[in-house]
A and B are shown apart, each in its own frame.
Chain A
Amino acid sequence: MRHLMNPLDFSVEELDKLFDLANDMEKNPKKYAECCHGKKLATCFYEPSTRTRLSFEAAMMNLGGNVLGFSSADSSSAAKGESVSDTIRVISSYADICAMRHPKEGAPMVAASRSRIPVINAGDGGHQHPTQTLTDLLTIRSLKGRLGNFTIGLCGDLKFGRTVHSLIEALCRYEGVQFIFISPEELKVPDYIIELLKSKNIDYTEVISLEEVMPQLDLLYMTRVQRERFFNEEDYIRLKDFYILNKSKMEMAKEDMLVLHPLPRVNEISVEVDDDPRAAYFEQAQYGVYVRMALIYTLLGIGEE
């Protein structure tokens, strides 16, 4: 039985297969509308996350399956002190597959080790959020037509943003990716990422100014500066509006550049950019549903039956 804990759990070839399936689901929704009939997805969310949970539920419903679950630790047995190991053993009797979000890092892995059904890590603290990375990769592959041979700018909080770290690690496996890291001095990418890039001889540049590199980019991945990552409110206020992507900056960019964002955005992308055909972040959310559909389908082994 297979689980998904880390975006690197799947090989490049397996990901290609998964993304082909996701694209087929996008084009032929009817073909898959009943393929999970009678199957149940348990969404075990120990901390609230509207977007990810609804995306999983929508994915299962699109496949004709049903969903059950809880959306906060207060409304689950965790409030009574039940361990993750015990909870998943019980959930294994109720559902066919489980998506778990937990504030503690490694909790989905503990669940997977005790589970009788496939477990998908839907985010564990600041550790991993593999379905977000798969969403990003599918979006790039579908809209750019390729994974690799492009220059990607990652902008904003590159220090604490786990989506950024996972995306870099995932993109390192493809040929010809050039990274440009755009961040204030305080929010630069951590050393271990730089070491990884050096060890693989991958090109990267670190800059502070977004305008300066805008014309070079094929992709721009914007991130939000998260208040909860700062101990000091003053630092947060100083850094939160460091980058604001607006129309005038977009004018400097290539005509086929794409803007991605894991959402929710606050004010790092001005609303006036939304109508620009290069703004792909809402499409990205749609791809999040397709990739989760393909993942549920694959982990349940539906195609193999």
Chain B
Amino acid sequence: MLNVGQIEEGFVLDHIKAGQSLSIYHHLQLDKRDCTVAMIMNARSGKMGKKDILKVECNIEELNLDVLAVIDRNITVNVIKDGVIVDKKELTLPKEIQRVFKCKNPRCITSIEQELPHIFFLSDEEKGIYRCRYCEEKFDMRSLERVKIL
């Protein structure tokens, strides 16, 4: 078993699909924060075969769980306080997500209108499909390469 130093306050994101931790790191904008981050890739997992884990030392309130749910609902979020797990957060798909993902449809009004917030609404909860509020183009948010951060 691999051991990485304990964190005092923050969160541990477990059961990340192997290889996805780096893009989650970017989507959570952890690169813009001054906090300790441990990224464990391709760890052995009984459930998944292989998985990634992210450990982040920061205030848990600062984490946008909506973004995480949209990326992968199966990620486990463990909240750490004083070195122990105090909570496990359930990820649910937000009905609407604003200003996080960019609509990639070149025919969409968001491609030219200044300062228009990019908004997606949940159109199929089962399949996790979101549609742009303006052009209604559908995006599978789980395919990370199809969306990019603003």
Residues of A whose CB lies within 8 Å of any CB of B are 83-85, 102-107, 109-110, 124-127
Contacts and interface: CB of A to CB of B under 8 A. Distances in A.
Chief secondary structure at chain B's binding surface: loop
B126 to A, nearest CB: 12
Given A104-B112, A125-B135, 9 more contacts: A83-B113, A104-B111, A105-B135, A106-B109, A106-B132, A106-B133, A106-B134, A110-B109, A110-B116
10 contacts: A104-B108, A105-B135, A105-B137, A106-B135, A107-B134, A110-B113, A110-B134, A125-B107, A127-B107, A127-B135
Interface string B76-120: 000000000000000000000000000001011111111010000
B113 A109 contact: no
B136 interface: yes
Interface in B125-150: 132-137
A126 to B, nearest CB: 7
Contacts of A102: 109
Contacts of A105: 105, 107-109, 134-137
B114 A83 contact: yes
Contacts of B109: 84, 102, 104-107, 109-110, 124
A8 to B, nearest CB: 12
What 6 A-B pairs come out closest when comparing CB atoms?
A106-B134, A105-B135, A104-B109, A106-B109, A107-B109, A106-B135
A124 B110 CA distance: 13
A115 B68 CA distance: 35
A261 B134 CA distance: 28
